[in-house]
Amino acid sequence: MNESIHDIEKKMSTMNTSRTKIIYISGFFTRNTSEFQRLVKVWRDCFLRSESAETRLGLLYVVHEVIMSTMTSCTDYHNEFDKYLVECITKCYTSGDFTLEKCPHYKLFRIWVDKKIFKKPTLKAIQTMWSKFKEASTPEAQKPQTALTTPISPAPKEEELRITVSKLIGCPSDDTKRKNAIQNMGNPFQDPERLLKPYVDLISCPDIIPDEEFNGVCLSLDSMILKLQSLEETLSLYSGDLEKELATRKSLDQMLECMEKNLLSQEMSLQDLCRDKKVELRLLEKRLSQEKSDETV
């Protein structure tokens, strides 16, 4: 079913971060590049009207998908989105969409800056907004203090520490009791820390792809999938046209076959008619010759 820009506008007004919805809307953009100015204007209006942080984030993901999908085929979207991007991200900044922990905005901005997808003034404005947000969000405990407001507690004496440690050692915990029970049963106890060490080393390995690059790779793969889907649609349409052409040719072949049969039938009728006429002609010749002979006599 063919959808209109008005239908897509309704979907963008209730946008979320669902991967399926992002791919669907960005696919509509890439299939209608001739309407790029109108589509980007509708996107911008939906963004500024939105009161949901998730909707605004989903619309930013749509921008990324469209840009990555049209990186080589159509640069009009790059320039058109660039006009409104700072205005829209400012809306995110003033609405408090950014968060410090696992912020998806920051990962998206890092990809744009690293790949230099947009113009320098736009990228610089995005970096400036993010820097201001980080400065404003710095906890008070991390800021340098000019004076201490509470007195420092005195350090515990060595004797007190020794007594505390001896009590802890002397009173085995439930985990220690269970460990000793397993050892007494003859089943060697596996230290969890030792068992998990290979996995911890793997996670902390510097060769692991960073989140930003991993997301970039995933988004690139999604863009390739989108291109393949578009190609599949084109091939499907082409296949439909071929089927129609084959059906037309088959119909023409049937018509030609009928015409050939009719011609053969007409040819046979003409041959029969010609044969009959020849017989009549011979009979007429015989009659004439007979009449001549009679006259002579």
Residue 26 falls within a domain, yes or no?
yes
Q: How far apart are CA 87 and CA 94, in angstroms?
A: 11
What domain range is 44 assigned to?
Answer: 5-137
- How confident is the model over 5-38, as pLDDT tens digits? 888 888 999 888 888 899 999 899 988 888 888 9
> Is pLDDT above 50 for 57?
yes
- 44 within 8 A of 81, measured Cβ to Cβ: no
Residue 185 falls within a domain, yes or no?
no
Residue 113 falls within a domain, yes or no?
yes
- How confident is the model over 152-173, as pLDDT tens digits? 455 555 566 566 655 555 555 5
Residue 104 falls within a domain, yes or no?
yes
Q: How far apart are CA 217 and CA 211, in angstroms?
A: 10
Q: How far apart are CA 103 and CA 106, in angstroms?
A: 6
Residue 235's Cβ-count burial label (10 Å; 0-12, 13-18, 19+) is exposed
Q: How far apart are CA 113 and CA 124, in angstroms?
A: 9
Q: How far apart are CA 46 and CA 90, in angstroms?
A: 15
CATH number of the CATH domain containing 86: 1.25.40.90
Residue 167 falls within a domain, yes or no?
no
Average pLDDT, the chain: 76
Residue 101 falls within a domain, yes or no?
yes
Whole-model pTM: value is 0.46
- How confident is the model over 97-115, as pLDDT tens digits? 877 556 788 888 888 888 8
Angle at 60 between CA 59 and CA 64, to 5 degrees: 115
| Number of folded domains that form the chain | 1
